[in-house]
Each structure stands twice: as C-alpha cells, then as structure tokens.
Structure 1
C-alpha cells in the first residue's frame, strides 16, 4: 500500500467531523490512527463511528464533583452501546468551597479550556460532566462557542444534611450556624457537630443554591435530559441517566442537534422564568447573560426583572423556603415542577431529547404540594423573584433577591457605613465599639469583577456582632460582589459599574444617605451630581494584588461588568468548530 493510499480502503464516515482526522489519506491519517492504537482500540474503531468526548470536571479539589469519574464510566457504556467511540478528558476544575480568591475567577478559564480542547480534537459530540457552581456554566459556555452536539449531565445534589433530628442545608445552614455562634446563641461544639452532619454524601449543594439552580435551569433550557437535574448524586438512577446520555449523544450527532438549535431566545426565557419560580440563585443572572452572548441571543439584565413579574415562587426550598433538593425530587422533581408551571414556560422549545419541552414533561405529577406548590398557593407571590434596581448609585443596574429578603427592608432609607475592603469590614464587624444601628446601610466596595478580582460571594455580609447579640437578623447591605445562591438577607448585589472601574459606588462616603426602593426599582444616593463629580477627581483605582501576571492579569484587563455576564470581552460570540490547518 503506497503512502498516498494509506487508510483509503476504509469507510471512515466522511460526514463526521472526526473523519478529517481518522479518515485522512497518507501519513496524516496514519499518524492519527496509529497513535490511538496504543489505547488498545481495534482496527475498525473509527470506521463510520461517531467519536464522542466526555468532558470531566472531576477533581479531588472539587469535592462536589468527586464522583464524576465513576459517572463517566456509565456514559462510556451508553456511547459504546450506541455505536460511538468515547474519549474522556479532563479540564480545569473550579470548586467553590476551596478556591481563592473565588471560583468565579476561573469560570472563564475553564470555559476557554473546554472550548480549545473541543475545537482542537477529532470530536463529533461531547457529554459535559459538571456540578459545582461554576463548572456547569463554564461547560455550557465552552460547548456553545464550539457548537458541536453537546449534552450536559450534572452530578446531582447531596442527600439532606441531618442534625439533631432535623434537616440542615449546605450553605444556608453554614450562615445560620456561624451567625448564631457569633451572637453567643450556640457553642463551638454545636457548630463542630453540624459541620460533620451537613455534607454527608457525594454531590453538590442540596439547597437551591447556584449548583442546583444551574442544574435545573440548564434542564429547562433543554441542555439536560428531562427529569435528571434534581436526582440525588447517590441515586442509582443518576448512573442510569448517564448511561442514557451516552446513548443519546450518539443520536444527536446523527441528527446534527447542536447547542445553537436549542439555546434560542425562548429557551433563555424559560431559564429566567424557571429560576424565578425556583427561588433560584442571583448567580444565574450572570451565567445566563454570559451564555447568551456566546450564542448571539439578545438577553439583558432587565429581562431578569420584566420576564418574571407574573411568575410566583412555587418551590419551597432553602434558602427562600423550608425544604431541600432530595425532598424536591421525591415531590415530583423537575418534571412535576415544569408541568405545574404550565404555559408560564414555552412548551415548544427543542431539547437534547429530540423532543420539545412540553413533550418531555407531559403528564408529570407532583406528589407533595408542600414542596412544589400549586400556582394558586405559591411560596411567594408573582413578581417576588429577582428585582433589578437602578439609580445614581447603580446606573447599569444591581440585583436584589426578593424571595430571600426581609419584606420590611425592601423600602428603606439609611445612613451609609462604608468600607473599601472586605477585610476591613470583617475586622470592624466584630468590634463591640463599632458605631452602627440596625437602620444603617452597610456598604463594602472593591469586591467586583476587577476589584477583588473575580467578584466573590461575599455580598451577604455577616452582621455586626453587637447587633446580632441584640437580636437583629437582617440589614440592608450593598456591594459590587455576588452572594452564594444558598444565602439570604436584604442584599443589593452586582452594583454596576463596580467601584474598581470608577463606578459611583467608589464615591460613597460614610454618613451619606441611601434609599433602597425595590417596588420602584430604585437605588439612590442622596448626593448631588456636582459633589459626586468633585469626589471623582480625587479617586484613584485600587491596586489589585496578583494582577501583574498570569490569568489574573488577563482577566482584569478583559472581564466585562456584571450586567454583561463577566465574560472576557474577546470570548463573546461563537467561533464554531472549524478544523485548523494540518501541521504535516
């Protein structure tokens, strides 16, 4: 056989993207095929078979995703069974509990890692294994930019935490226990005991935090198989779902069912509205804004307010409610929830199942109406989801999670107490001599995308100790940071532009008066324009530690603001899956 005809006698399935590698003539095809033989693959492995990647965010540093290596084996079974060829590969992983300064700093890096890996390799489709907060949106963003058939499988929530005869929830109970300890209401032994009771199985947070939010929202947007997002991590049915995902991705390659056909404007509207009905995380705002820009869908910050005015909160889940994700699944799960919402969601959007949203959930039931409420008995009335407030303090907007706030504080005027850094606030918060009242408004700045960097989940500032000891449980807090989806309180987040970019938040001074009026969607600093302009002349951008090199420097130089999704400016839009030139 001459070098020119090497491999040309095989039917390599020229319609497949992978055929550009494995079906090539001459030394190019020889090299691609030969090196893969070292993995013990038979001669006919690539003859007309779709090559499927399994992107795995497993890491021992990301405890929420620790079981994804095992889940990948079930995906492989399904791929082989359907006639495909699976290849598992790792990417950057970002675990919320450990990464400093914040896992959000790594979301775009992870998305870029996945995007480049998919584009550079002979893959016809990909199954995305994610779970912890930032891993799910990162994978959706990277896959959407390449736009090959993609199917997401999240790792599932942990089992309910159990403490002294009751349930405790990840994140939400952390804040409650630690605040109670600071207030002197419980001792260290109780906190230590709770610490060992909360995370008692594999999986991500079992509250309706960002991980559960993004899992459910991605299913309602069509990117996960129906009825899978809320299955507990240790439930054998999740392994079954992974197996079926392996089968389904092979069919999706044959159908050429790509993210661009699924992630339409209507799909994003389903995601925004479902997030409101779930009492979901404010972080979904940032992730969906970034994802929309990857696929060219027009989605704005205001959509997260205007689209949900008629949507009630019907999932009674922590932090806005009483129950946890295990209860949600047993009550009917995503299927029962979707069917309850009915025509509040678009029923004709396409999903990875190949069927429409409505077909996926037709006839699903709710078995516990205390957990998944009917529309006429909601947890919170329509319009009580995320509110977008604007004013001279947040000209490009800020967000408030109404379902987790104290109703009496949604309209409030108070004196601003201002800190330039989080560390400075935390030190003062424990000072018994701090001059603070419950009517004051706590302001912490330089914790935004550039200022921290990465916009950490610190917006739910711990209350001053002296107020906790006096029985105060909530105050208005304002920052350019995010907060965990597991958090609660009357917290104004994502103030844009951020202080480190010269936004008005940088100009607030202790003693200024601020009015928050959520019903009117207003956030106003009672300082006139002339005074703000005078203050601006003396403003100097803060120096961010570690910003002189590496990923942090690239991030700070190119990250967009919160109202645009915190993506890197040069990653917005889709580059597609075009194969680059051969090197030989």
Structure 2
C-alpha cells in the first residue's frame, strides 16, 4: 500500500501536466475546459476523476447508470474532486452477438487507453453485466492509476403465478418444460413478462454477481457493495460514497496493483468457490491476476475447490434463494465473515482498510441462505477442474449444479461440429439420443466460436425431455451462462478449432468422466488418435479483416484467461505516459 503519511501534493497530480504549465498547449486545454462552462477554480489543484460509464440504451443491466452517474459526481464534488464522465462499451449480455466475450478485451483496451490518453488522476468504474466487470478492471489494472469499482447490483426477484423466478436459470427450466409439453405457450409468455422486474444484473448467482463478488473480494469495491440490489436506495449511497472515496485514493496514490496482490486473488478464488460461482470466474480471474503480474492458474482453483465448500445457497447451485435474499441475509460481508478461516484478512482494499477490518462485526441473518461451513449446500467448491486426453490443458464442470449421477459416467459421444446442426438434432425426436449419450459441441472455443460463446449448456433433446429426463452429460470448448446448470463440461483446452484433442473425437467413441478423480478421457488408443490427427483439417478462418481478425491472431486459450497475448505484463516495456506538447 501507499505511504499515506505523505499525501500527494497538487503539483504532483497527473492532470496538472495538461492544465498546469504556462505554455500554449496548456492554454488550449484550459480554454477548451472553459468552453464547456468550467471555471479554472473547478479543476485547479483538484484531482480530475474519470467516471468510466458503461450505460447504454441497449444495456438493461445498467440502465440506472444514466442517473447513478450523477450520484457519483456528487460524491466526487463533495470530496473536492473534479468529475468527468467517459462513456465506454456497454457489452449487454442480452443483446450483443455473437458473444460479449468477443469484446471483453476491447473494453479492457478502451478503458486502459481512455485513462491513459485523458487528463485524469483516478477512475470510478461503473459496470456489472458479465464482461464489464473484468473488462473495466483489466484496463484499470494495466493503466494503474487509483481506481474503484461500482457494481450495477442485481435486479429484484422475478415472479410468475406466485412462483419466484431467477433470471437465466428459470428461463432454461421453463423452456425445457415448454418443449416437453408440461406448460403452455401462455404460461411461457407469463414467465417472459415476469422474470426481469427491474434494472440491474441477473439476480441468480450468474457471472454478473460472481464477478462483482470477486471484484469486492480482491479489494476493488467498498465493503458490502457487491450485493446491494440495483433498485435499493443503498445503491445510490454506494455511488456517492465511492465518488468521495476515490478522491482520497488519488491523494494517497492507492493504485490497483497495490491492492491486487496474489493473496488478494487467492481470497477471490475462495470466495467464488463459497458463493457457488459461475464457471466463467476461472477465465476472468486468471486474466485479471495475470494483468496484475500474478501467475494464477487452474491449479489454484483446483486447490480451492478441494477445501472451500459452497455455502451461498443461491440459484443455480442453490435451490431456493436469489441475490436479494442473499443481501438481506448478510450479503458478501456475512459470507466472508463466515468463511474467514479461508481468507487472508491482512489484504488491503479500496476502503483503506484490510479485509479483516471490512468484515469485522458482519452478521448472518438467515443461515439457510448463507450456510455455516459445517452445513454447506455442497461439500466442495463450486467448480472442479478436470484433465485427461480430451483436455490436457484442463476443462471445468460445476458439480453443485448438476444431477449427481453424472459425477461418474461413461457413454457414447454424439459429436456436432457447429451449433445449428446440434440445435436441429435436439429437436428431432427420431435422433438416436439416449440418457447415456454424451452430447459434444466443438469449434465453439475462443477462436472457433468465434469468441467462445455461451453455448456450453447444450439444450436437452426434446424426446428425452418428454420421457422425463432433465439432465445428461454434455461437453464443449464453449462457455455457459453463470445462470445455467446441468452436467456440462466446458472450456475444453486446447480448443478443437486449433487442433485440440476434442477435434479428434468421433460419434460413437466412449467418453468417461470422473469428477472425484478430476479426470475426463476418450477411450481411443494413441495409434488411432495419431491417424486421426494426421487426417485433421483446420476449419476455415472466422474473420478476414477488422477486430475479429486481430482477435483470432492474438487470443489466448481458456486456461490462460482468454486475454490477448500482447497485453501480458511480460510483453515488452510498460506503455509510457503520453507526450503533451
């Protein structure tokens, strides 16, 4: 941490390089600020705070940011700072195609360059929808000026016909029931109208709530901020408080890399496991840690998985509760206090206090929502990392959110090379699926997808649904929504598009999984695999130009965090500050 006994002086502010010198170029900066109606007294000697806002008219999770930004500005002004709003990519999980994962790194680069190229001393990062949290934090970490994150907050509980609905999780559930013929089209319209009742992110323990909890666990959110519902007035106060706090962080030079130590990332992994986190946590956390200069990998997740149980009883790992219930039960502070023995309490945070200080006195008000360690909803962590001849670099499954009979299973593969052919087959009631079938989708990874879409929760075959089945073993090099559930093996690495072993699997081959042993294999001999490898032909290029072309050339694999190779901390010298002339 910084030596707060020596606070930064006004002449040391980064923004002063733009506004301070008595030369022609600074005359231009000052005159243009005055053109916008700002008086010199508003910026002279004050920290200039960038508010990186991911609001847009096609971002339902962040629609309230249009007004919340004014609360952030209010806090900054109260603390003696000068707020400036810098819009950034909104990355709506609901609307952006083929997948927001294709653009996470674009948001990261935009955030880094916005902060580098403008006269700002600190940043407030406004995000929450799945990829916005890691995207903003990746960019801010690489730039490494003082920064604080404000989560969008989960939406209110859904409701239909007296039933509580959880976003995503109940979409998949009732879609299967519609296809099975157990509910009507009118019922389905009722679910559609009732499942998203307010602004905010998914109120299940999907990727959004997973990543905002991780942002707090790693120290980048004010205490308790990651679990406040978007519609709660406490969220308004969080915005103002974050605005006030960032000004002090600038004077004390509290930068992301001073907070984001290796121990902080291990805390975040343990919290994620206890929350019943999204499988996407692995990819984003690895990327975030490596941007901060720490070699976090799949082995760190596997160690945490073996020792930290799931105590957050929130769908889809839990069966009943949603994020609003989690907040009322004590929220993230209550959960972290419950699992304090698995945390490094000495890690510092954006509050200026340690993790231990932040959770001191935290209580749990409903021990069915936030379970004690002695009564978890699942005895191990949320995720399990599997390896074998199908995934030599690893893959992931979510044991707490699947039919337990598939924890150990062997069955014949049915392999699809693209999503449309798979989708057509599952609706064909004559297609020869059985309950033992292992359904496989390939060419859906980082390069193959393109962008590694959330296709990994492959739809159940219609005929099996009508027979009463609701789960089967499914496997892909894609991701799945954090709100999803089922026996889905994901993130198979290396991906099939670049010739990973998944590319060599054929329909009829026996696939075997053993979650307890952390293994996944195909029963195919090495000589046969060598023949298949020699005959394999790489699929055609996904892009010939533009961002997609650059993405394909530089994206890393899932086990490496899907960051761009040229954004690694070891890739050349640090980017210099811009020359101002």
Same fold (TM over 0.5): yes
Deviations 1:218-243 (A, max 9, x none): 11110000011111101111010100
CA displacement 1:538-579 (0-9 Å, x = unmatched): 21111244x111111110111000000011110122876742
> Is the Cα–Cα contact under 8 Å of residues 147 and 577 in structure 1 kept in the other structure?
no
Structure 1 position 267 matched with structure 2 position 264: yes
CA distance in 2, matches of 1:298, 1:538: 36
Q: Tell me the equivalent position of 1:346.
A: 344
* Deviation sequence 1:70-94 (CA, Å, 0-9, x none): 1111010010110000000111221
Match of 2:563 in 1: 567
1:475-522 C-alpha deviation (Å, 9 max, x unpaired): 110100001000000110000000001100001000101110111111
Contact 1:65–1:131 (Cα < 8 Å) also in 2: yes
CA contact (8 A) 1:146 1:576 kept: no
d(CA) in 1 for partners of 2:89, 2:229:
24
Q: Tell me the SS of whatever aligns to 2:43.
A: coil
Equivalent pairs counted in the alignment come to 571
* Structure 1 stretches lacking a partner, 5+ long: 1-11
The question of 1:537 aligning with 2:534 is answered yes
Report the counterpart of residue 42 of structure 1 in structure 2. 39
Q: Is 1:56 aligned to 2:53, yes or no?
A: yes
**2:551 alignment counterpart:** 555
Counterpart-to-counterpart distance in 2, 1:185 and 1:450: 38
Q: In structure 2, what is the equivalent of residue 357 of structure 1?
A: 355
1:288 is aligned to 285
Quick check: 2:204–2:322 contact (8 Å CA) kept in 1? yes
Shift in Å at residue 308 of structure 1?
2.8
Query: Residues 289-315 of structure 1, C-alpha deviation per residue, up to 9 Å, x if partnerless?
Result: 111111111101121111231111111
Pairing 1:134-149 to 2, within 5 Å after superposition: 134-149=131-146
What aligned pairs does 1:105-254 form with structure 2 within 5 A after superposition? Answer: 105-254=102-251
Partner SS for 1:127: strand
Separation of aligned partners in 2, 1:347 and 1:200: 37
Deviations 1:377-405 (A, max 9, x none): 11111x24211111111010000111112
1:366 alignment counterpart: 364
Per the alignment, residue 324 of structure 2 pairs with 326
2:92 corresponds to 1:99: no
- Distance in 2, Cα, partners of 1:542 & 1:63: 36
Residue 304 of structure 2 contacts residue 381 of structure 2 at CA under 8 Å; is this kept in 1? no
Number of the residue aligned with 1:5 = none
Whole-Å separation in 1 of the counterparts to 2:36 and 2:233: 29
User: What is the alpha-carbon distance in structure 2 between the residues aligned to residue 203 and residue 511 of structure 1?
Assistant: 44
* C-alpha contact (below 8 Å) 1:148/1:577 kept by paired residues: no
Residue number in structure 2 paired with 1:441: 438
What residue in structure 2 maps to residue 7 of structure 1? none
* Alignment partner, residue 373 of structure 2: 375
SS in structure 1 of the partner of residue 484 of structure 2: coil
**SS at 2:513 equivalent:** strand
Provide the residue aligned with 2:406 in structure 1: 409
Distance 2:98 2:279 in 1: 19
How far does residue 459 in structure 1 lie from its aligned partner after superposition? Answer: 0.5
Kindly report which structure 2 residues correspond to 1:445-524, keeping only aligned pairs within 5 A, or say none.
Answer: 445-524=442-521
In structure 2, distance between residues paired with 1:122 and 1:223: 22
Return the offset for 1:25: 2.2
Q: Is the 8 A contact 2:273 2:304 kept in 1?
A: no
Specify the SS of the correspondent of 2:302. helix
Q: Determine the structure 2 residue equivalent to 1:81.
A: 78
Superposed CA deviations along residues 100-121 of structure 1, whole A, max 9, x for unmatched, are: 1111101000111111111111
SS at match of 2:377: coil
CA distance in 2, matches of 1:419, 1:18: 54
Question: How far apart, CA to CA, are the structure 1 residues paired with 2:27 and 2:502?
Answer: 61
Does residue 337 in structure 1 map to residue 340 in structure 2? no
Unmatched runs of 5 consecutive residues or more in structure 2: 1-8
Per-residue deviation at 1:286? 0.3
Conserved? CA contact 1:119–1:577, under 8 Å: no
Which region of structure 1 is more displaced relative to structure 2, 335-344 or 317-326?
335-344
Alpha carbon RMSD of aligned pairs, Å? 1.3
Aligned residue for 1:14, secondary structure, equals helix
Q: Distance in 1 between matches of 2:402 and 2:302?
A: 16
CA distance in 2 between counterparts of 1:99 and 1:47 reads 41
Instruction: Please name the residue that 1:316 is paired with.
Output: 313
Deviates more, 1:204-213 or 1:292-301: 292-301
Partner residue in 1 for 2:4: none
Contact 1:137/1:287 (<8 A) preserved: yes
- The match for 2:68 among 66, 71, 81 is 71
Where 2:29 maps in the other structure, the secondary structure is helix
Instruction: Provide the C-alpha distance between the structure 2 equivalents of 1:285 and 1:443, rounded to a whole number of angstroms.
Output: 21
Cross-structure match for 1:580: 578
User: Once the 2 structures are TM-superposed, how far is the Cα of residue 162 of structure 1 from its aligned partner?
Assistant: 1.1
When residues 223 and 577 of structure 1 are mapped into structure 2, their CA distance, relative to the original with a 3 A threshold, is: farther
Task: Please say if residues 305 and 384 of structure 2, whose CA atoms lie closer than 8 Å, have aligned partners that are also in contact.
Answer: no
Change in 2 beyond 3 A, CA 1:578/1:44: farther
Task: Quote the Cα distance in structure 2 between the aligned partners of 1:276 and 1:443.
Answer: 26
Alpha-carbon distance in 1 for matches of 2:174, 2:510: 32
Matched with 2:17 is 20
Aligned residue for 1:88, secondary structure, equals strand
- Local SS of the residue matching 2:17: helix
Distance 2:92 2:527 in 1: 45
